[in-house]
Amino acid sequence: MRVTQPDDKPSVRSVPSGPGDAAARAASTEDAEYTRRLRELQGARWKRVLNVQAPYRWNVRHHLGSRRALDLGCGIGRNLRHLAPGSVGVDHNASSVAFCRSLGMDAFTPEDFLEASSDGRLAPFDALLVSHVLEHLEPGSQVEMLRPYVERLAAGAQVLVVCPQERGYASDPTHTDFVDDRRIAQALDQLGVVVDGSRSFPFPRWTGRFFIYNEFVVHGHLPA
């Protein structure tokens, strides 16, 4: 599939913010209730029947292939369970980590992951997936949050970052910062990641104002 560069970009200022204080919204993603909400939303029968995640799983496989990946912000394992053997998830929600482990996935809290990777228990990863994470952070904090995880990648590793567009951003009160493809690319550049391309997925850019599941997708790699 050809990678395209979206060219009609609405102003970020037109994007509605969620209700309440940003710090409070971010903190709520650590609660057990957030894990329960993810399980309820992702387990909806109509989603299973229609297999609505199939194109999004395809997109991840298209970019990451069979590489052993680090899934940063893995949640309850929606992507992690379909990544290559040896892949690992990280999430700051201990309830989500416990749920992943209960299904046989390898998942860590950030503190446990950084300890395990520092003492040699975890080898460097060949890919990094950051899907629907950056929009939950305090504005301007994305680069420093990503840095220790990029440092755990092997030379030549692939990097894939996904963020929601306008309608998706407005749908979740825990979203705190609208991060478009330009900002994703800027963050990756600051981290030494070579940006290879970006696109609007699965539909053209303009549909992100109305379709809740349209995404910014930016991919790149670390120099070999």
pLDDT tens for residues 34-49? 778 777 777 666 566 5
- What is the C-alpha separation between 75 and 161, in angstroms, rounded? 15
Predicted local confidence at residue 184, as pLDDT = 99
- What is the C-alpha separation between 106 and 38, in angstroms, rounded? 18
How large is the average pLDDT for residues 101-122?
96
- What is the C-alpha separation between 7 and 219, in angstroms, rounded? 17
Which residue ranges form the domains of the chain, and what is each CATH number? 20-221 (3.40.50.150)
What is the model's pTM?
0.84
Contact 117, 125 (CB under 8 A): no
Predicted local confidence at residue 5, as pLDDT = 36
- What is the C-alpha separation between 165 and 213, in angstroms, rounded? 8
- Pick the residue with more confidence: 79 or 7? 79
pLDDT in tens, 138-187: 999 999 999 999 999 999 999 999 999 999 999 999 999 999 999 999 99
